[in-house]
Chain A
Amino acid sequence: MAGIVGYGAYIPRNRIKVEEIAKVWGADAPSYKKGLMLEEKSVPSPDQDTITMAVEASKNALKRAGLDPKAIGAVYVGSESHPYAVKPSGTVLAEAINATPEVHTADLEFACKAGTEGMFIALSLVQLGAIEYGLAVGADTSQGAPGDPLEYSAAAGAAAFIFGKDKVVAEALQTYSFTTDTPDFWRREYQYYPQHGGRFTGDPAYFKHITGAAEGILAKAGMKPADFNYVIFHQPNGKFPFRVGEMLGFTKKQIEPGWLVSKLGNTYSASSPLGLTATLDISKPGDMILIVSYGSGAGSDAFIFRVTERIDEVKALAPKTRDLLDKNKVYIDYGVYAKYRRKIRKAE
């Protein structure tokens, strides 16, 4: 059965705390911390972008898969912060990991679910037999306008998954997608920061699509929440995943291992995929995992994975997600953050 043969994560070292951002804008830090369950977020260094992070995560996935990169027949990068408007991120990634030239690639964009859409395509091509191995990456250096509530959560990270049929770490038992035209969050060409519909991003957007996808995949698989050891939902803030979990009948215990957002922020296309890498890091053979992403616009992808014996052989082959999150951090102030995120224009 096809599934994940290698997985890898990458999180930049820099962190900025909610208090540091709130201080600049005269905002009430405790209410953000309590209301959104956010403490700090990751910040990319000036020389990092979606491509460099995708490369880091993919290298980690390759270490776990133990593959010759030339065996990878397709490379998909899902992001809403591709460094180029025209010119693929995927070609740089494929070249960097030595998967070129006999490889399919394309960049994907679907707000925060471009990564999981890439996973679906790579998995499907493997299942179809069109390719032997496929690589899918969700990566973002997400943008939040200065002073916007998004600034407290918009973070950076990447997660990569290699799909194949041999030496599978987690079998893909079921997939499902739930999509409607729902304009809750958008950025037009030439706009630097996205706009969002405030409270409209909640019930008719995040909650409707995640519950739609979760209920859909459970019905398709004939399963119920109690059948799963772990569940990962998209994490735009700390509160939403727990609330949607409660709505669907999942427990905190099922959600917590993949819940990274309070210390990580929202890594957009990498958000639920990083929750999956963190969950795989602590999973045991036989564990059942449900992941449901969410992308504004709007849609949710759902996958059911069953962990195999192989997990114990690969866990230690690359950095664990929680270690990337909790160790070796560098705290920066708002001034440095503003410079790193190019909010300050330097003299030419």
Chain B
Amino acid sequence: MRDVAVIGIGMTKWGELWEKSLRTIFVETALLAIDDAGVDRLDSMVVGCMSSGLFIGQEHLTSLLSDYLGKNPVPAARVESACSSGGLALRQGFIEVASGISDIVLVGGVEKMTDVTGCEATYALGTAADQEYEGYHGLTFPALYAMMAVAHMHKYGTTREQLAMVAVKNHENGSKNPLAQFPFKISVEAVLQSVLVADPLHILDCSPITDGAAAVILCPADMAKKMKKPVVRITGSGHATDTIALSSRKDMAWLESTHLAGQKALAMAGQKIGDIDLFEVHDCFTIAEIMITEALGLVEQGRGGKAVEEGLTALKGKFPVNPSGGLKAKGHPVGATGVAQAVEVVKQLRGEAGERQVKGAKRGLTQNMGGTGGSSLVHVFEAD
């Protein structure tokens, strides 16, 4: 297996991009990554997108995107694993370069979510749950994560305020990210007073509906060195699945797929969790970040709420989690999220993260998750 490096990153401002179509958002972002890498060819493209079919009525997506990028006849594949589609695209690109099949691979993620009504978007997102055993019974994602939150609160005494603190921390970080959808600070009080969506989750516990894309360019590390680019290697890739239905889990307050994917990625990288300088994780709801910090082993099981309260996961804490603002403040165009996490970690490891820079960061980790944890992807990045 060859060592794989990220040599280009691209991301544009996320938000409700009503004036732009999916192809435009993707192409703008991909061109940024290509420019950043300074490459003159692509050997392959892998794009993560959860549901262009339901969101914009378009399948056969990568033929469209490679065409509009002006890269036909490049081989181009779309991968789907709900909200972890971007993370999965990164893993497929990584495997393709590591195996020697391709040298220069563009890994993209994109989702255009605001061309449909809120109800239609909720339905499209709901297809990431078990339709027969969850969806048809009226469960939506806020409801599923609300049950996970209640389970966690019941089992470990996690408080409503601790959930709010996750959103407050991520908005604090996001206020320093000009590409974020909601780059402003909020207070615990504001979270608790915002509209109740699914008890105990309020609207400010939930990541938003977002249009956006992200892209990275991968190549063999040897090639990257010759190009005299700042080299960030992907040293670990872990992928695991779990039951799609929450009711089939042994423990609703534990993310087994994230735990296993994390262990695999760290083992491949030959690192311990304590050696990682920053984390970009899948805070689709505030409770998710609390459970992810536990599943990755940043804190003991049940201590995730306390950890955020004590500032352990703050930008200047021992384990900075979501310096980008996370899904909560940066936005969550589902298929793009996993790739955007990689963009942020590379920015941090290059020392280009501006006001939100984690000082002296050498190693970073991304965790991207589908549904309620039916799939998880973890990647470890290291600066040369």
**Residues of A near any B CB (own CB < 8 A):** 28, 31, 35, 195, 197-200, 203-204
14 additional A-B pairs beyond A198-B117, A200-B114, beta carbons within 8 Å, are A28-B195, A28-B196, A31-B195, A31-B196, A35-B195, A195-B117, A197-B117, A198-B118, A199-B16, A199-B114, A200-B16, A200-B18, A203-B16, A204-B19
Q: How far is the CB of A29 from chain B (nearest CB, A)?
A: 11
10 nearest CB pairs, A to B: A31-B195, A198-B118, A204-B18, A28-B196, A198-B117, A28-B195, A200-B18, A199-B16, A35-B195, A200-B114
CB-CB < 8 A to B117: which residues of A?
195, 197-198
Within B80-137, which residues are at the interface with A (CB < 8 Å)? 114, 117-118
CB-based nearest B residue for A198: B118
CB-based nearest A residue for B197: A28
Within B9-24, which residues are at the interface with A (CB < 8 Å)? 16, 18-19
Chain B 247-291 per-residue mask, 1 if CB under 8 angstroms from chain A, else 0: 000000000000000000000000000000000000000000000
Within B184-198, which residues are at the interface with A (CB < 8 Å)? 195-196
Q: How far is the CB of B112 from chain A (nearest CB, A)?
A: 13
In the bound complex, how far is the Cα of B19 from the Cα of A320, in angstroms? 44
Q: How far is the CB of B267 from chain A (nearest CB, A)?
A: 44
Q: How far is the CB of A206 from chain B (nearest CB, A)?
A: 14
In the bound complex, how far is the Cα of B18 from the Cα of A199, in angstroms? 11
In the bound complex, how far is the Cα of B204 from the Cα of A35, in angstroms? 14
Q: How far is the CB of B123 from chain A (nearest CB, A)?
A: 14
CB-CB < 8 A to B19: which residues of A?
204
CB-CB < 8 A to B16: which residues of A?
199-200, 203
Q: How far is the CB of B206 from chain A (nearest CB, A)?
A: 14
Interchain Cβ contacts under 8 Å between A and B, 13 examples: A28-B195, A28-B196, A31-B196, A35-B195, A197-B117, A198-B118, A199-B16, A199-B114, A200-B16, A200-B18, A200-B114, A204-B18, A204-B19
Q: How far is the CB of B302 from chain A (nearest CB, A)?
A: 31
CB-based nearest A residue for B194: A31
CB-based nearest B residue for A34: B193
CB-CB < 8 A to A198: which residues of B?
117-118
In the bound complex, how far is the Cα of B18 from the Cα of A28, in angstroms? 29
Interface size counted on chain B using CB atoms at 8 A: 8
Q: How far is the CB of B217 from chain A (nearest CB, A)?
A: 33
CB-based nearest A residue for B203: A31
In the bound complex, how far is the Cα of B115 from the Cα of A198, in angstroms? 11
In the bound complex, how far is the Cα of B118 from the Cα of A230, in angstroms? 36
CB-CB < 8 A to A35: which residues of B?
195
In the bound complex, how far is the Cα of B311 from the Cα of A280, in angstroms? 57
CB-CB < 8 A to A203: which residues of B?
16
In the bound complex, how far is the Cα of B16 from the Cα of A143, in angstroms? 27
In the bound complex, how far is the Cα of B117 from the Cα of A203, in angstroms? 16
CB-CB < 8 A to B114: which residues of A?
199-200
In the bound complex, how far is the Cα of B118 from the Cα of A232, in angstroms? 31
CB-based nearest B residue for A202: B16
CB-CB < 8 A to B118: which residues of A?
198
CB-CB < 8 A to A28: which residues of B?
195-196
Q: How far is the CB of B114 from chain A (nearest CB, A)?
A: 7
CB-CB < 8 A to A195: which residues of B?
117
CB-based nearest B residue for A205: B18
CB-based nearest B residue for A35: B195
Q: How far is the CB of A91 from chain B (nearest CB, A)?
A: 38
In the bound complex, how far is the Cα of B303 from the Cα of A141, in angstroms? 56
CB-based nearest B residue for A184: B18
Q: How far is the CB of B181 from chain A (nearest CB, A)?
A: 12
CB-CB < 8 A to A197: which residues of B?
117
CB-CB < 8 A to A204: which residues of B?
18-19
In the bound complex, how far is the Cα of B16 from the Cα of A91, in angstroms? 45
In the bound complex, how far is the Cα of B128 from the Cα of A128, in angstroms? 63
CB-CB < 8 A to B196: which residues of A?
28, 31
Q: How far is the CB of B172 from chain A (nearest CB, A)?
A: 24
Q: How far is the CB of B107 from chain A (nearest CB, A)?
A: 30
Give the one of A35, A195, A198 with max B CB within 10 A. Answer: A198
In the bound complex, how far is the Cα of B339 from the Cα of A27, in angstroms? 37
CB-based nearest B residue for A204: B18
CB-CB < 8 A to A200: which residues of B?
16, 18, 114
CB-based nearest B residue for A197: B117
Q: How far is the CB of A180 from chain B (nearest CB, A)?
A: 12
Q: How far is the CB of A251 from chain B (nearest CB, A)?
A: 24
Q: How far is the CB of A204 from chain B (nearest CB, A)?
A: 6
In the bound complex, how far is the Cα of B75 from the Cα of A245, in angstroms? 53
Q: How far is the CB of B116 from chain A (nearest CB, A)?
A: 10
Q: How far is the CB of B261 from chain A (nearest CB, A)?
A: 34
CB-CB < 8 A to B195: which residues of A?
28, 31, 35
Q: How far is the CB of B182 from chain A (nearest CB, A)?
A: 13
Q: How far is the CB of A15 from chain B (nearest CB, A)?
A: 24
CB-based nearest B residue for A31: B195
In the bound complex, how far is the Cα of B118 from the Cα of A195, in angstroms? 12
In the bound complex, how far is the Cα of B19 from the Cα of A195, in angstroms? 20
CB-based nearest A residue for B202: A31
CB-CB < 8 A to A199: which residues of B?
16, 114
In the bound complex, how far is the Cα of B209 from the Cα of A198, in angstroms? 12
In the bound complex, how far is the Cα of B19 from the Cα of A204, in angstroms? 9
In the bound complex, how far is the Cα of B18 from the Cα of A198, in angstroms? 12
In the bound complex, how far is the Cα of B16 from the Cα of A198, in angstroms? 12
Chain B 317-340 per-residue mask, 1 if CB under 8 angstroms from chain A, else 0: 000000000000000000000000
Q: How far is the CB of A151 from chain B (nearest CB, A)?
A: 15
Q: How far is the CB of B380 from chain A (nearest CB, A)?
A: 37
In the bound complex, how far is the Cα of B295 from the Cα of A235, in angstroms? 49
CB-based nearest A residue for B121: A198
Q: How far is the CB of B5 from chain A (nearest CB, A)?
A: 40
Chain B 162-203 per-residue mask, 1 if CB under 8 angstroms from chain A, else 0: 000000000000000000000000000000000110000000
Q: How far is the CB of A36 from chain B (nearest CB, A)?
A: 11
CB-based nearest B residue for A182: B18
CB-CB < 8 A to B18: which residues of A?
200, 204
Give the one of B18, B19, B114, B196 with max A CB within 10 A. Answer: B18
In the bound complex, how far is the Cα of B195 from the Cα of A306, in angstroms? 43
In the bound complex, how far is the Cα of B18 from the Cα of A203, in angstroms? 10
CB-CB < 8 A to A31: which residues of B?
195-196
